[in-house]
Structure 1
Amino acid sequence: MTTDATEAWEIWHNPSCSKSRAALSALRAAGHDVVVRAYLDHPPTAEELTEMLRRLGLEPWEVARSREAHEAGIDLPREVGARAAWIEALAAHPRAIQRPIVTTPDGGALVVRDTETLDRITG
């Protein structure tokens, strides 16, 4: 079955992350057509990250992995004035982006870090 990109689920996936693997497996088991983006191999641009943050309704520091951000030297204030710098830093250091991020066909997006969120999107 061919799925229009606007109707597809997408996962920003890190295959070495157990939560990312679990989310991908659950989405597929629920019968969803899933576009897999290996975001470490194909990092999002600043524009893509900005759009994803809009869909998530989050600020960039809210999707940053603390340890990885620190290791990448991302030491920015968590305030609106530093938003653009955060986005550029995360685009340059995708390991610091929380995972997995899943987009839904209705235009939404979620960071799927817990069982409750995964259950909500897989039905």
Structure 2
Amino acid sequence: MEIWNNPSCSKCAAARDTLSEAGMTFTLRGYLDTPPTTAELDAVLDRLGAQPWDVCRTGEQAYTVLGMADWTRDADSRPRWLTAMVAHPTLIQRPIVLLDNGTAVVARDQATLDKLIANT
């Protein structure tokens, strides 16, 4: 299991603590320091069953500066979103947990973490 982690994020800390307390082993990926490639982010979105705009942090400065609120949200615009999110990884929602079974979840709440523990 791998967690895309921002050390200063309270949601990431909650995920790390909850999974550790449950005895689960994981590796941390500091995705701000080691951003995903476009192909990696694309694959993670497929694992999540999500589009880039579904996991884009709209409150980030880069979102505003790039004018992403006005960007089209369709299959043709997916590469544009991926490129922006890779160039500005703060735009990627966190924490994303990549499971060994090939699935992934955005683990921002206790219910998701509880379900993750129960199903792993």
**TM-score strictly above 0.5:** yes
Structure 2 segments unaligned to the other structure (5+ residues): none
Provide the secondary structure at the position in 2 that maps to 1:12: strand
Bigger mean CA deviation after superposition, 24-33 or 45-54: 24-33
- Aligned partner of 2:31 among 21, 32, 39: 39
Moved beyond 3 Å, runs of 4+: none
Partner Cα separation in structure 2 for residue 44 and residue 15 of structure 1: 17
Q: Does 1:121 align with 2:113?
A: no
- Aligned partner of 1:25 among 11, 17, 23: 17
Q: Give TM-score scaled by structure 1 length.
A: 0.88
- Aligned partner of 2:57 among 53, 65, 69: 65
Displacement, 1:71? 3.7
- Aligned partner of 2:47 among 48, 51, 55: 55
Displacement, 1:43? 0.4
Q: Does 1:10 align with 2:2?
A: yes
Q: In structure 1, what residue type is equivalent to 2:39?
A: E
Partner Cα separation in structure 2 for residue 112 and residue 84 of structure 1: 25
**Percent of residue pairs bearing the same amino acid type:** 47
